[in-house]
A and B are shown apart, each in its own frame.
Chain A
């Protein structure tokens, strides 16, 4: 099941890329498409940040991951590179679990 999901997702992403290069420009130049598509990643990434920080299964929780996210926010504000942002969150969570 995992493999099927992985491969279908890979195929979908490839078709989207190919569609951009292949479809007649008027389809994708529709102002509604132009305006809406860039908003989708903003909303989805924000929803991913929220759900993966403040929930476990179907429960809303506040645990060390919130502190880890706060560390990541500080790293982002300091314009740290991607890997440093991710590492700062992981290290914060690991250290807080030790105490």
Chain B
């Protein structure tokens, strides 16, 4: 996953605008931390490709594999199911893992999760 692509993404709230111009719900979890423009995004130790997979598969893949990276390291999940946008941060909150940020891909999103324990 190229670092350049992620670092050029817009800031928090970029995904909060609905397709039809109405501002959609702000997801209730506050602005998601996204690496500031110009700063390199944290590098992922493991990339999980869940593109084309429906929820809860991306979450199951993350739960299965997060133990494979050392504590403090980052797993990147690529997913395009609309539910992933809510469910990845919600899973992190439930499991006390750190949700680092999300960035749009041409189709879907890249989610960064840091293993906290």
Please indicate whether A and B come from the same complex rather than being unrelated chains.
Answer: no
By a beta-carbon cutoff of 8 Å, the part of chain B in contact with chain A is none
By a beta-carbon cutoff of 8 Å, the part of chain A in contact with chain B is none
